[in-house]
Structures are given as C-alpha cells and as structure tokens.
A and B are shown apart, each in its own frame.
Chain A
Amino acid sequence: MATISKAKANVGQSGRIRFDPDPEKSGTLPGHYFIDPAIYQREIEEIFFKTWQFVGWSHDVKEPGSYFTADLLDQKILVTRGKDNKLRAFYNVCMHRGHILAEGKGSKAVFTCPFHAWSYDATGALKAAGNAENVEGFRLEDFSLAEIQVEEFGRMVFVNLDPKARSLHDQAGGLEKEFQTIIPRFNDLKLVHVDVMPIKCNWKFVFDQMECYHCPIIHPQIMGKDDSYLEFSFDITAHEIWSQHFVAGNKDNIEKHKDKLPYEFKVKGEDVLADAYIWWLWPNLLWVAHHGKTNWKLMHVLPTGPETCVQTVYYFFMTDPPEKGERELMDYFTNVLQRQDITTMEKQQIGVHARGYRMGRLMVDKERSWRSEHGTHHFDKLIWEVLNGPNY
C-alpha cells in the first residue's frame, strides 16, 4: 500500500525520464500516481475540495424555494434558490448533530431536519430549534448552515468548497461563451438521457485520454481510412484551466459514404454541426458536441477510490424523446466509442502496477500535430503542480 514508491526500485530503462513543465520534454505521470492511496487522499483535499465542481442543473433551481442535493465525493451539498432569487449552496447537514438535512430535489420554504426538527430557511438561517429557550446562552444565529461558493455556468451549477477560490467565470468565462456561440440553440436543448458508467481505473486515466495519438488504433472506424468520416485532426486551443479540441469532419466522405456512418447525421442545413468539439474544464469535466443536428453532452467523472471511478454522461438533444439518429448517436457513443476508450483505461490501470514500468514519454511534437499528446500534458501538469508545487 504505502510500499509502492519504494517498490519501484526495479525500474526499467526509462528510469532517466521525468515529468517536465515543458510538454516537449516531459514523461508521463509516474505509474504509482494512479494507485497510491496517499496520493489519492491528497487529490481529494487539494483538487476536488478546492476546484469548481459540477453538482447539478440550473433548470432544477429556477423558482424561489426550489432545491437539489448532490454528493461531492463524501461531502453532502444542498443548492437552493431563495425568495430573493439568489442561488445559495450549503453543506447539506444539520448544525445540531450532523444529520443529513434534505434529500433528492424539489421545492421547500423551510428545511426541517428529520432528526430533532431544527428548521432553516433558504438563506441558511436557523429559524427554529425545539427547547432552545431553555438552553443557556443558545443563540440561533450561531447555528446557520455552512455556506459554500456557488455559480451558474452554461446551464450548470458548480460549487467550490474552498472559500478563497477565484470565480469560475473569471477563470473560464470563455468556455461558457463557446457553448453559446458554437452550439446552435444551446439554450433550447433538453436533457433526454443519463448514462452512469463505473470504470475500473484511476480517474486521471479518463483525462489522460485527451489526445488523438490513440484514435486510429483504438477507434479505427473514425479516421485513417479512405471512407473515414473524420479528418486526421485534433486541434487544441488551451486556456489556463480549460481547452477546446476541434475534430474536423470529412465532408466529402460524410456525403459519399452515408451508409457507412456510425449513426445517421447530416452536416448541411439549419442547426447542424459540421465538425465535432470536445471541451475540457479542469479537473474532471468534458463536453462533446458531435456532428449532425445540434447536440451537447456532459461527461462528469468522480473518483470512487484510488483505482476506480464513475463517469456520468448527460445527453442533450432538441427533441425528447430523441429521434432515430440521436438514439443511434447515444448508442454509438456509449457502446462503441466509450467502450473502446474504457477498455484501454482499465488495461492501463492493471499495467501501471508493473514494477518494470515507472513512467513513459509524452509524445508531444513541435507543430502540435493531431497526434501530439500536449492535451494530456496540460492536465498532467496541473495535477503535478497541485501535488508538488512548481518543483519538478
């Protein structure tokens, strides 16, 4: 368990490489970063409890009094809109004995704890506590719910457990604008389906996949053949804590080989996307907009242990229930593309235990070609700096 780093004495020839702030010189993250329970604990503290974390949807908290609850790893969260129309978030626990306060989602004027009936309003103020009048020196205002930073961002609700965290809009406002400008009728899309996918790998392997070096090998149907529907492309525009990855459609092939497309779609006409976009937001969110009729999906990854995680995929389309091509797209994404990726992630998880492997090389080229792994380095570098500071 804690013996892992020591156990790597028997490393292979790659022993001289190391993680480097320059992507062109860098190794991958060391193998034990994907196994070691001590590193996992530090990631929870330093990453998940200090970054902006997706917890739910704006459409669930539109009206005053509406609320939803969420789990951020072992932390219970309550988000509710007050009579003053302000959205607030709190730890979802009663300040008396720590009982969970609210469940699921809905609408409440008063949050009453099911244990001893302490009651709070949507500003977190304790309004009533039975027998308080007989308890010496008891002041209701000493027991307000503990408030957390919350922001609405592109139809989503984010919280940040770190009271000193910079605003998400300050850090990633451009990302919210891209959803609006790139995805036709973004605000009209409807959430039509949710897939929950448990994966037997460390959560970081999901984001290490942000490169297209593996595409022709793991996803042979998408690029590299005469009739492929994608160009060899993976253009990354990186910002401080987010990035856009652009994958160009091969318009000729999409027209010419309609019968070979993995799902039914058109790239001409109104409200369609001719190319595909992937966005990443540090640390644990990806969004994908696929070719065809306007669509958007969120992939939310949460660790469940040092060597396991769960990915939840939220599908948005114009119509609910979805049309034939949209059903095919969901099936293709979950059962073909995701399965291809998850198989490799789970094999890496098994592989990094090997005492003959310490770390590999990130294959980053000067021109940042479609197969360069600089997207992976961006993510890995932020991980490295959280755990080790600027010490390489």
Chain B
Amino acid sequence: MVAKSAASAAAPARPRFGFHPDPELSATMPSTYYFDPAIFEREKETIFYKTWQFVGYAWDVREPGSFITADIIDQKVFVIRGKDGRLRAFYNVCMHRGHTLLEGKGQKGVITCPFHAWSYDATGALKAAGNAENVAGFRHADFSLTEVKVEELGLLVFVNLSNDARSLSETCGGIVDEFKKIIPRYDRLYNARRDPYPIKANWKFVLDGMECYHCPIIHPQIMGSGGDTYLVPAWDVVEREFWSTHYTKADPKAIARNKDKLPYDFDLNDEVKDSAIWWIWPNMLFVAHRGPSNLKVFHIVPTGPETCIQYIDNLIADDPPSAKNLSNMNYYRDILQPQDITAMEQQQLGAHARGYRQGRLMVDKERSWRSEHGTHHFQRLVWESLHGPNYDAA
C-alpha cells in the first residue's frame, strides 16, 4: 500500500517539480495522498480533529434541553442547549464505561446513560450514579462529560475537538452575510431533503473539484458548447484564509435564447439570479443555484482512505416544495452529481498507477475562469496540516 513512493522510481522522466506554496508554480498533491492509510490516519489527527466540523442545524437546538448528536468520523458528539440558554457540546459517551449516551435528536431535561443509568444535566455535570454513596472516594465532580467547542454559524452548528481552535465566527463569519445577500429568503430556509452519495474516492478529490477547468468537458450542458448553454464562462474566486466564494454569472441573453433547452426549471425572475459556491475549510461546500431561494449544504465525510460519503442537504424556503424547487434539487441529484462523481472515482483508480506521481495545477496569472487556484487553496491547507510550512516533505 505505502510502497508506492519507492515504486515511483519507475515514473517517466520529467522536470523535477512538486507541491509549491505559489499556485502558479505548483504541482498537484502526490497521488499517494489519495490512498495511503498512514496519510489518512494523519489527516484525522491534524485535520478532522482540529478543524470546525458541521454537526447539524441551529433550528434543532433552539429550545432549552433540545439536542442533536453527530459523528466526526469515529468521534461521537452531542450538542445541547442548557436552561441558561447556552449551547454546549460534549463527547457523546458516558464517563463510566464509555457507552453511547444519546441517539438522534430531541429534547431532554436529564441525559441518562442506557447502560447503568448514570445521569447528567445539560452542563455535562454528573447528577446521579447508582450506588455512588458506597464507592470509596467517589466524587460526582470527577466524572463530568468532556466538553468540546461549539459555535453557531448562521443556520449551521459546528464543533471543534481541539481546545486551541480559533473561533469559527471570527475566521468565517463573513460567509453568513454573503448567504443573506444572495439568498433573499435565507431566514426561512429549512432542510427539505438529504441526499447521500457514497463515493469510491478519497474525500480530497471531492474538494479538488473546486475549479471550472473541467466544466465544459464534464458538464457540457452548462457552458461552452456553441452558444446554446446557459452560463457565460465565469468562475470568480474570492479567497479568504479559511473559506472562499466562487461565483458563476448567468448569461441572460443565452437563457432567453435557450428557454427550451435549460437543464432545469428556472427563469430570469427567480430570487437567486446567478450561482454561488462557497467553501469552508476543510470539508464543507455550499451552493445557491439560480432559482427560488435555496442553499445546498455539502458535507463530505471520509469513510476510509479511498471512500467517502457526501451528504447534500437541500435547504429551501417554500414549504411544501414548489415544482421549481424540486426541479432545482433533482438537477443536482440526477445530472450534476453523477457527472462529478464519475470523474472523482476514475481519478481514484488512476492515482494507483505506478507510472503517475503527480500532475500540474493549471493556474494562470489572470486567475481566469478555468484557472485551478481554488484547488490549490484547498491543497495548500491540507499540505500545511500534514507538513507545516515544509514544501520539500514529499
């Protein structure tokens, strides 16, 4: 498995290049990064257990006592609102014998372990443990639940397993203002449908897709094929430290001209005019697609070195969903996603080739619509999580 780097001695001769902090000079990540189990283990430690991870929606934890549970890979957590109105998060395990405490979501005044009935309140304090009065030196205070950081970012709830993490709203708060600007009925959004996509590819291939170099080829219906497409070639990336915006402008003339050929039901009067994609490091993508108010929440979760699952929550403002809402959601599910997933899974198979070590990121000076600098942004943060600022590490 890990033997590939040695085996790559057989790789074809080519000028020496590698991953580089300057996007214009950089190669892609080496292919072993997409299947090596040791790298996957390190990614868990240095990325997933240290970054803000999406765990659910704020509307599920509004009332005192309401809670949600979530998994961060193999780590069970829950988030609960206390009587004091404060939101807290904990590892979802009893401090006695490690049994899982809560399931699903709901409302609880007291959290009681289903195994030996140890009971905790919403501040994590152990309130009752059967027979504790007869156990030498037992102090309830020694067995509070272990707290983890939690923050709300607009409608979303995130936790961070690292105690040293910088605040999410401090680093990424601007994204909520952008959501509100682009999605007129942002405050009325609810989750109409969760679409899960199990993908036979390393989770990073999903995020590497943050470029439009592939668009005219993989998604021929959206741009570039001889004037009957509905987008102008556009992909404006605005990068911040830990998030970015990717904006594709609609072509009103082309839309008017090709009314019958549009891949789903939308028109120029819809609330969301253009299409915006946002990314939050490391594994969240958001899309507002032209049509009625909508926000697609993409959550990418690795399930092994070579597999992941991508959840797409379809947040919309019309209840029940209108025909336009459904057309918008289904276009993603039935057309765009299969196009992208096919490409990712083919990359996963290809990465194993002993004659391939790494490619070149195609970044141009003017950062054109087809420049791959968005991919570089993501890969650079992965690289620095694994190696720090050392770019000779591969």
Q: Which A positions have Cβ atoms within 8 angstroms of B?
A: 1, 3, 7, 10-14, 16-17, 24-25, 28, 31, 34, 208, 213-214, 217-218, 344, 347-348, 350-357, 360-361, 363-367, 369, 371-372
Q: Contacts A217-B115, A218-B114, A361-B143 given; indicate if A25 touches B136 (C-beta within 8 A).
A: yes
A354: min CB distance to chain B, Å: 4
B115-150 interface code vs A (CB 8 A; 1 in, 0 out):
111000000000001111011111001111111100
Contacts of B163 in A (CB 8 A): 10
Tell whether, in the assembled complex, residue B116 and residue A213 are in contact, meaning their CB atoms are under 8 Å apart: yes
**C-alpha gap A367/B135 in the complex (Å):** 10
**C-alpha gap A361/B97 in the complex (Å):** 8
Contacts of B384 in A (CB 8 A): none
Tell whether, in the assembled complex, residue B76 and residue A354 are in contact, meaning their CB atoms are under 8 Å apart: yes
Tell whether, in the assembled complex, residue B76 and residue A353 are in contact, meaning their CB atoms are under 8 Å apart: yes
Cβ-defined partner of B146 (8 Å) among A17, A347, A357: A357
Tell whether, in the assembled complex, residue A360 and residue B97 are in contact, meaning their CB atoms are under 8 Å apart: yes
Contacts of A365 in B (CB 8 A): 131, 134-135
**C-alpha gap A364/B136 in the complex (Å):** 8
Sample of 16 further A-B pairs with CB below 8 A, known A3-B42, A12-B146, A357-B98: A1-B37, A7-B45, A10-B146, A13-B142, A14-B95, A348-B100, A351-B76, A351-B94, A353-B74, A355-B75, A356-B146, A356-B147, A360-B96, A363-B96, A363-B131, A365-B135
Cβ-closest 4 pairs across A and B: A356-B146, A12-B146, A356-B91, A365-B134
Tell whether, in the assembled complex, residue A356 and residue B90 are in contact, meaning their CB atoms are under 8 Å apart: yes
Least CB separation from A16: chain B residue: B142
Contacts of B42 in A (CB 8 A): 3
Is B157 on the interface with A (CB-CB < 8 A)? Answer: no
Contacts of A351 in B (CB 8 A): 76, 92-94, 98-100
Q: Contacts A352-B93, A355-B75 given; indicate if A3 touches B98 (C-beta within 8 A).
A: no
**C-alpha gap A303/B132 in the complex (Å):** 33
**C-alpha gap A233/B130 in the complex (Å):** 16
Contacts of A360 in B (CB 8 A): 94-98, 143
**C-alpha gap A202/B171 in the complex (Å):** 41
Most buried by A among B49, B134, B143, B163: B134
Contacts of A24 in B (CB 8 A): 135-136
B53: min CB distance to chain A, Å: 13
Tell whether, in the assembled complex, residue A352 and residue B98 are in contact, meaning their CB atoms are under 8 Å apart: yes
Tell whether, in the assembled complex, residue A348 and residue B90 are in contact, meaning their CB atoms are under 8 Å apart: no
Contacts of A366 in B (CB 8 A): 134, 136
Is B27 on the interface with A (CB-CB < 8 A)? Answer: no
Cβ-defined partner of A364 (8 Å) among B41, B74, B135: B135
Chain B interface secondary structure, helix, strand, loop or mixed?
A: loop
Q: Contacts A363-B132, A371-B131 given; indicate if A355 touches B100 (C-beta within 8 A).
A: no
Is B68 on the interface with A (CB-CB < 8 A)? Answer: no
Tell whether, in the assembled complex, residue B131 and residue A372 are in contact, meaning their CB atoms are under 8 Å apart: yes
Most buried by A among B37, B42, B91: B91
Tell whether, in the assembled complex, residue B98 and residue A354 are in contact, meaning their CB atoms are under 8 Å apart: yes
Is B161 on the interface with A (CB-CB < 8 A)? Answer: yes
Tell whether, in the assembled complex, residue A363 and residue B135 are in contact, meaning their CB atoms are under 8 Å apart: yes
B312: min CB distance to chain A, Å: 25
Contacts of B90 in A (CB 8 A): 356
Q: Contacts A217-B116, A348-B115 given; indicate if A31 touches B98 (C-beta within 8 A).
A: yes
Contacts of B98 in A (CB 8 A): 28, 31, 34, 348, 351-352, 354, 357, 360
Contacts of B75 in A (CB 8 A): 353-355
**C-alpha gap A350/B69 in the complex (Å):** 14
**C-alpha gap A367/B162 in the complex (Å):** 42
**C-alpha gap A25/B115 in the complex (Å):** 21
Q: Count the B residues whose beta carbon is within 8 Å of the partner chain — how many?
A: 43
**C-alpha gap A123/B194 in the complex (Å):** 66
Tell whether, in the assembled complex, residue A367 and residue B115 are in contact, meaning their CB atoms are under 8 Å apart: no
Contacts of B91 in A (CB 8 A): 12, 354-357
Query: Within residues 44 to 88 of chain B, which ones have a CB less than 8 A from any CB in chain A?
Result: 45, 49, 74-76
**C-alpha gap A90/B135 in the complex (Å):** 48
Tell whether, in the assembled complex, residue A361 and residue B135 are in contact, meaning their CB atoms are under 8 Å apart: yes
Tell whether, in the assembled complex, residue A1 and residue B95 are in contact, meaning their CB atoms are under 8 Å apart: no
Most buried by A among B129, B145, B146: B146
Least CB separation from A347: chain B residue: B100
Tell whether, in the assembled complex, residue A369 and residue B131 are in contact, meaning their CB atoms are under 8 Å apart: yes
A24: min CB distance to chain B, Å: 5
Most buried by A among B92, B100, B117: B100
Tell whether, in the assembled complex, residue A357 and residue B93 are in contact, meaning their CB atoms are under 8 Å apart: yes
**C-alpha gap A214/B45 in the complex (Å):** 34
Cβ-defined partner of B115 (8 Å) among A11, A344, A357: A344
A244: min CB distance to chain B, Å: 22
**C-alpha gap A360/B96 in the complex (Å):** 4
Contacts of A7 in B (CB 8 A): 45, 49
Cβ-defined partner of A14 (8 Å) among B129, B132, B142: B142
Least CB separation from A352: chain B residue: B98
**C-alpha gap A28/B99 in the complex (Å):** 13
Contacts of B134 in A (CB 8 A): 365-367, 369, 372
Contacts of A25 in B (CB 8 A): 136-137
**C-alpha gap A1/B144 in the complex (Å):** 28
**C-alpha gap A366/B49 in the complex (Å):** 41
Contacts of A218 in B (CB 8 A): 114-115
